[in-house]
Structure 1
Amino acid sequence: MKLLKRFLQFAFVCTLLGVLTLISLYYYVKSDIPSVEVLKDVQLQTPMQVFTRDGKLINQFGEKRRIPVRLQDVPEPMRNAFLATEDNRFYDHFGIDPIGIVRSALVLITTGQKKQGASTLTMQLARNFFLTREKAYIRKVKEIFIALHIEQLLTKDEIFELYLNKIELGNRAFGIGAAAQVYYGRTLSELTLPEMAMIAGLPKAPSALNPIRNPERAKSRRNVVLGRMLAEKYITQAEYNAATQAPITAKFHGAEIELYAPYISEMVRAYMVERYGTDKAYNSGMRVYTSVESEVQLAAQHALVDNLHAYDMRHGFRGPEAIYWNAQSESPLSHGGIVSRLRKVNEIGSLKAAVVLSITEQSAEVLLKSGEQITLTWPGLSWARQYISETRQSLPPKTTADILAPGMQVFVRKQDNLWMLSQLPQASSALVSLDPNDGRVKAIVGGYSFELSQYNRATQAKRQVGSNIKPFIYSSALEQGYTLATIINDAPINHWDKSVGVAWRPKNSPEVYNGPIRIRRALAQSKNVVSVRLIKGVGINTAADHLLKFGFQDADINRSESLALGSAALTPIEMARGMATFANGGHLIEPYFIDKITDSFGTELGSAVPLIVCDEQQLEEQPERCAPQIISEQNAFLIADALHSAIWGGGSWKHKTGWSGTGWRGQWLKRRDLAGKTGTTNDSVDTWFTGFNRNVLTTVWVGFDDASKSLGRAAYNANLGKNQLVGAEAGAISAQPAWINFMREALKDEPLAPIEPPPGLISTRIDLKTGLLSRKNDHTSRFEYFEQGTAPTKYVLDTDSSTPFDNSAPLPTHEELF
């Protein structure tokens, strides 16, 4: 009894000393222990992801790769792998594992080395959130106290879920969701047992045990994990045997980008940083769903790129990028030597770097950067006459030797399953497509290559708009009492400008003058002199003020007669927004490119609330949701209908009175619901095409980034046969083909959506020559729309169709007419 008493006294003293030691340690480190209350509402550093409207990943931004997962979504073998390897008594202890601590202490006493840390999952979570990996006793003490606190705040499942999402697993992957994607390019549910075991073995040393850098060490560690799972009876012997024999299949997988659309993703990044700040934007795991649809956006990118290559090919081949050897005097490089040099060449977009190995009369053998050898046949070479200048090309080549020689490093691209000689386009372009009913950006492309230039020409490049301004000028004229039947003289102007002492002689392009002409046809055929006469008749300031209604900035509107010809400078998205007014019945919409924002688990944080085109009931119930009406519905329809004639023309070809509008190539789409307008500035520096139906409006701009450089002209290439675009570059030649190719895809499955005439209009038959009422029902007349009260009241005389004016429209002065 005496011995027992002494033992109990000794035990009591030791316990007391232990408690006192723990209390002393607690107060010693108390000031350094962080509050773990944040774990109740933890925000893991998760990258921001950007998606299309239909859920395709466009891009992600952030330093750490993390894909948060719920514990219930983690496969059971993955959970068991971590428990068996890291802390098999996790669900039984209170944050620290006494058995593990004793085992670690024995190892330390017997070896003198800290080989085992005795860290539970809770302690590892404490270290990952609040401490470092430094092997120090004081850190271990802090780790224990923090772990005890965590166990009081959170459930075991909450701790385990945080651990699995927080743990570092190498290659910038944090958490098991990101590791599955980085190493195997799959989701957790798609992983095999050996792959799960591989990931579960990484926390011990993410770099040293990395299966990409050290596959053998990683395999050994994986088998240790499988052994622990077998020992704990999580897997059978047969499963263990099969898993340990599985090969190492891990390789690096970048973010699973499903649609590369860098211009829209950069717009999102800039917006999110401005709104939320850099840290929250990049690390809070927000998912941003843009307004663009993947197929429509991809069609826009292809249309723009293909159109720039088509322009580039019209103007000739500028020669090789480099010459690796002179075929006349030097020995060719080996295939290995060629590939080695090609690896240093930056490939842009669809362009592939290649070196010419040999040529025949009308073909060439080339070696690609990948080591693949391909043949360029004559259809892929015959375009390549020599570039002389933007306005001159050499005679068409007759043989391959006129174009290429062995040793030349060039670019090639595949188009319609044909390998073609190519080159990096020097011209630039932008495309914006909107839903005119609410401003949703359906597609947007800011240039040929974001890698070459992050400058977004769709939103940042203010360029002169040329004749794309005319619908707005004509809209102003309609507000002042003009009609689509009003006759204006299409004749040369010779106006003396006292301020500069020279005559201003605006000209039509082409220089064709029709004399007295109806406004509908003048707009459809983009008659410059008629536009000038209209702005003079309306008044420059009146017209300019009218343009400001469409959201344009006063600083961009040149208040002079040149405004009638497009001297205003606008961005493509500003042009699209303004032109949408004619498609939607006179409303000014606000373009938007973000549909909604969610957190990493899909909870919605915000969504777009766009201004919409409202009917009378909506306007009464929710006026704050309605886009403002800036011009009358009748005015908008009349301009849209005149622009329909820009594509479909008028008159009678049978009776030799037929005429085409400047956008006649839009007929290739075989849709009667389309309207559009070309635009070309002086010397073909800027070219535009804007076209639309009721639901889709698209603007395309083409030009050089250097605003002093002309797009030039292209001569006929006898090698290419029919359907070439030749002559001076213009909106119909440079920009409209991209619009056509895009709209073909954007409208592929869409029903016709014509712009219907609104109430307040009348339709009456007029004489085509005079604009007066007509009783005839033949090729000399047509039905025309008028706002009520503006239709002519006189009939043309059957014997005299020479009177060019009606008595309801403002009469041009003698100077304006002649």
Structure 2
Amino acid sequence: MLGIEVIKVKIIKLFIFILLIIIVSLSGFLWGTYTYFSQNLPSVSALKNYKPKSVTTFYADDGTVIAEIFTEKRKVVPINKIPRRLVEAFVAAEDANFFTHKGIDYKGILRALYKNLEAGEIIQGGSTITQQVAKSLLLSPTRSWVRKIKEAILAYRIEKNLTKEEILYLYLNQIFLGHGAYGVAAAAENYFGKDITEINLAEAAILAGLPRAPSRYSPYKHPKRAKKRQEYVLKRMVKNGYITKEEMEQALNTKIIIKGVKNPFFEVAPYFAEYVRQKLEQKYGREVVYNEGLKVYTTVLPSYQKAARKAILKGLKELDKRQGYRGPIMHLEKDQIPNFLNKVTKEIGDEPLKIGEEYPAVSLK
């Protein structure tokens, strides 16, 4: 019996020894990996001076917007101007444990894997909001396991150097949300024709559903998919305690009106705006004019400009009438007529024809 007890003790000691070797080896491997991939990583301190590409706006004498020029349509807004419901919608959809994790959410990774397998498609991502900030602002978009390791290291560093509010400010202003819109303010204008402060819960859930795949869930192109994604976001908000089931049902029954935003560059004073743009580019350079969010105040009066354009158009029409009919603008073969008419129909769209306007047409003998 004594010999058996001695053998048991030896086995236990051997097990503990092997376990210690594994722990030490694993710790050494992890430390070595961290040290190796930490070399030459960008500094997270640069995020403190966040100055992204944003819209340059031209204003008329009365303060109305007459033009916007940009390479990325982004309007940077402070975090305290973004509605609380919108922040909660993004957190619920993209990173439920955002306010408690330290950059990496291991439970979230496992949950996303399970949910995606269950749904048969990617409906959740494993990256935290902090990781997405690191990827978007500090790393290249190239997909590789090396980048994922660097992303995780940077996310940890970001969490140590920035507050949660500062991270959300970067994320919500930087993220691409489809149809040329970068950041939630530009997206609110693009999709709903609203200032970011006016967004309701139903609209917030639509926007929060876009980061995973902006084109796939576009309310412009795929309203049914967008609605399904909205429902998913709202259910996540209920699960995380941000809203009640009654609020979810109310949001689902709220009618969403999608409004495309017209480019003011072509609406009021296009030739004047182009002249101003050229002068600015000559003085400051294209990079500054298109990316640094300048506010340009001009002397043009929209009411006078519209009256002048109307008078010129009237004069041109009267001149054209005096000169008489000068033949068609083009000749079409019989098989070309359907394509021409389809093109004209698409250009006119659903807008009713306006009295006094001129439209392309086909005259048949």
**Could you tell me the TM-score, scaled by structure 1's length?**
0.38
Q: Deviations over 1:622-657 (max 9, x none)?
A: xxxxxxxxxxxxxxxxxxxxxxxxxxxxxxxxxxxx
Instruction: Check 1:256–1:84 CA distance in 2 against 1; reply closer, same or farther (3 A cut).
Output: farther
Q: 1:57 aligns with which of 65, 68, 75?
A: 65
Equivalent residue runs for 1:478-557 within 5 Å = none
Cα separation, 2, equivalents of 1:345 and 1:236: 45
Q: 2:302 aligns with which of 294, 297, 303?
A: 294
Structure 1 vs Structure 2 CA RMSD: 3.8
Tell me which residue corresponds to 1:208. 216
Instruction: Check 1:19–1:104 CA distance in 2 against 1; reply closer, same or farther (3 A cut).
Output: farther
Q: Is the 8 A contact 2:188 2:196 kept in 1?
A: yes
2:236 aligned with 1:234 = no
2:191 aligned with 1:189 = no
Tell me which residue corresponds to 1:26. 34
- Structure 1 unmatched ranges of 5 or more: 357-405, 409-818
Tell me which residue corresponds to 1:265. 273
Q: 2:134 aligns with which of 107, 126, 132?
A: 126
Q: Is the 8 A contact 1:165 1:176 kept in 2?
A: yes
Q: Deviations over 1:389-413 (max 9, x none)?
A: xxxxxxxxxxxxxxxxx759xxxxx
Counterpart secondary structure, 2:181: coil
Tell me which residue corresponds to 1:47. 55
Equivalent residue runs for 1:725-764 within 5 Å = none
Tell me which residue corresponds to 1:352. 358
Q: Deviations over 1:50-78 (max 9, x none)?
A: 22122211122223221222111111111
Amino acid in the other structure paired with 1:321: P
CA shift at 1:275, angstroms? 2.5
Q: 2:326 aligns with which of 319, 323, 329?
A: 319
Q: Deviations over 1:637-679 (max 9, x none)?
A: xxxxxxxxxxxxxxxxxxxxxxxxxxxxxxxxxxxxxxxxxxx
Instruction: Check 1:244–1:343 CA distance in 2 against 1; reply closer, same or farther (3 A cut).
Output: closer
Q: Deviations over 1:711-753 (max 9, x none)?
A: xxxxxxxxxxxxxxxxxxxxxxxxxxxxxxxxxxxxxxxxxxx
Q: Deviations over 1:331-360 (max 9, x none)?
A: xx9xx998536448899xx8421559xxxx
Q: 2:105 aligns with which of 97, 100, 103?
A: 97
2:142 aligned with 1:140 = no
Counterpart secondary structure, 2:159: helix
Counterpart secondary structure, 2:73: coil
Instruction: Check 1:89–1:37 CA distance in 2 against 1; reply closer, same or farther (3 A cut).
Output: same
Cα separation, 2, equivalents of 1:76 and 1:115: 23
Counterpart secondary structure, 1:353: coil
Share of identical aligned residues, percent? 33
Tell me which residue corresponds to 2:261. 253
Counterpart secondary structure, 1:95: coil
Cα separation, 2, equivalents of 1:339 and 1:262: 28
Tell me which residue corresponds to 1:573. none
Cα separation, 2, equivalents of 1:114 and 1:324: 52
Instruction: Check 1:155–1:258 CA distance in 2 against 1; reply closer, same or farther (3 A cut).
Output: farther
Equivalent residue runs for 1:272-283 within 5 Å = 272-283=280-291
Tell me which residue corresponds to 2:342. 340
Counterpart secondary structure, 1:352: coil
Cα separation, 2, equivalents of 1:16 and 1:114: 37
Amino acid in the other structure paired with 2:342: S
Instruction: Check 1:50–1:4 CA distance in 2 against 1; reply closer, same or farther (3 A cut).
Output: farther
CA shift at 1:157, angstroms? 0.9
Pick the structure with more strand per residue.
1
Instruction: Check 1:321–1:237 CA distance in 2 against 1; reply closer, same or farther (3 A cut).
Output: same
Amino acid in the other structure paired with 2:183: G
Q: Deviations over 1:221-243 (max 9, x none)?
A: 11110000111121121121122
Q: Is the 8 A contact 1:80 1:234 kept in 2?
A: yes
CA shift at 1:85, angstroms? 1.2
Cα separation, 2, equivalents of 1:128 and 1:316: 60
Counterpart secondary structure, 2:293: coil
Equivalent residue runs for 1:642-653 within 5 Å = none
Tell me which residue corresponds to 1:153. 161
Cα separation, 2, equivalents of 1:121 and 1:265: 39
Instruction: Check 1:190–1:277 CA distance in 2 against 1; reply closer, same or farther (3 A cut).
Output: same
Equivalent residue runs for 1:549-698 within 5 Å = none
CA shift at 1:257, angstroms? 5.8
2:207 aligned with 1:199 = yes
Q: Is the 8 A contact 1:215 1:248 kept in 2?
A: no
Q: Is the 8 A contact 1:259 1:298 kept in 2?
A: no
Q: Is the 8 A contact 2:104 2:131 kept in 1?
A: yes
Structure showing greater Rg:
1
- Structure 2 unmatched ranges of 5 or more: 1-7
Count of residues in Structure 1 that have an aligned counterpart in Structure 2: 346
Instruction: Check 1:4–1:345 CA distance in 2 against 1; reply closer, same or farther (3 A cut).
Output: closer
Equivalent residue runs for 1:60-79 within 5 Å = 60-79=68-87
Instruction: Check 1:18–1:100 CA distance in 2 against 1; reply closer, same or farther (3 A cut).
Output: farther
Counterpart secondary structure, 2:182: coil
2:95 aligned with 1:87 = yes
Instruction: Check 1:296–1:252 CA distance in 2 against 1; reply closer, same or farther (3 A cut).
Output: closer
2:177 aligned with 1:175 = no
Cα separation, 1, equivalents of 2:69 and 2:17: 63
Cα separation, 2, equivalents of 1:304 and 1:105: 64
Pick the structure with more helix per residue.
2
Cα separation, 2, equivalents of 1:8 and 1:291: 82
CA shift at 1:170, angstroms? 1.0
